Amino acid sequence: MGSENLERFIEAYQNIGAYYLVPSFAPEGFDGSQPPKFGWEYFIGLRGLYIREAYEIGPNDIDATVIREGDDPIIPEEHKDDAPILNLLENRKEE
């Protein structure tokens, strides 16, 4: 279900046990052909990683902040009626 980039990231994380979050910036006059500039002075090093399927995220989960109205998560057939994300998406409609 994952993308090639996600699978590569997870494999690298499993080998190393850590990762960095680094902001990137478009250089002045950016037209899409230049590489981004990285703000390595602002990096955040992390060791913990928790991976879960979107359909498992419910209204009271901290991860709920990334779910937006109109998202269309993949929900396994056996959870079509009881996936926690269904309540979350319903709440997003009301906001």
The reported pTM is 0.65
Question: Could you give the number of structural domains in the chain?
Answer: 2
2-60 confidence digits (pLDDT tens): 589 999 999 999 999 999 999 999 988 889 898 889 999 999 999 999 989 999 999 99
Q: Tokens at residue 36, please?
A: 């981004």
Size (the chain), residues: 95
Q: Tell me the two tokens of residue 39.
A: 């703000």
What pLDDT is stored for residue 76 in this prediction?
Answer: 96
Tell whether 90 and 64 lie within a shared domain.
yes
64, 39: one domain: no
Q: Are residues 38 and 58 in the same domain?
A: no
Phi and psi angles of residue 25, each rounded to the nearest 5 degrees, phi first: -130, 145
Phi, psi for residue 11 in degrees, rounded to 5: -60, -45
4 and 44 fall within a common domain? yes
Q: Is 74 in a helix, a strand, or coil?
A: coil
DSSP state letters, 9-69: HHHHHHHHS-EEE--EEPPTT--SSSPPEE-GGG-EEE-------GGG--TTSGGGGG--T
Q: So what's the pLDDT on residue 2?
A: 58
Q: Can you tell me the mean pLDDT for 54-81?
A: 94
Note whether 2 and 44 are same-domain residues. Answer: yes
pLDDT surpasses 80 at 94: no
In terms of domains, do 43 and 62 share one? no
Q: 2: domain range?
A: 1-51
Residue 62 and residue 37 in one domain:
no
Do residues 66 and 85 share a domain?
Answer: yes
